[in-house]
Copies of this chain bind each other. A is one copy, B any other.
Amino acid sequence: MQHPSPPADFFTVVDTQRALRRFRPDPVPDALLARVLSAATRAPSARGAEPWCFVVVRDAALRATIGAHYRRAFEAGAAFAAATDADRDVRTRPHYARMMRAAEDLALHFADVPVLVVCGLDHAQLGPLAAPDGTLRAPAAAYASVFPAVQNLLLAAHALGLGGTLTTLHRHFEAELKRLLAVPAAVEVVAIVPLGWPVDRPGPTRRKPLAAVAFRDVFGRSFEG
Which chain A residues have a beta carbon within 8 Å of chain B's beta carbons?
Answer: 3, 7-11, 13-15, 17-19, 33-35, 37-39, 41-44, 46-50, 52-59, 62, 77, 80-81, 84, 86-87, 89-90, 93, 95-96, 99, 120-121, 125, 127-128, 136, 138-141, 143-144, 146-148, 150-152, 154-156, 159, 165-166, 168, 171, 181-184, 187-188, 190-191, 203, 205, 207-208, 210, 213-220, 223-224
Contact = CB atoms under 8 A, between A and B. Distances in A.
B219 A168 contact: no
Contacts of A219: 53, 55, 120, 181-184, 187
| Majority secondary structure of chain A interface residues (helix, strand, loop or mixed) | mixed
Contacts of A81: 127-128
Q: Which of A9, A39, A93, A143 has most chain B Cβ within 10 Å?
A: A143
Contact of A44 (B58, B165, B190, B218): B165
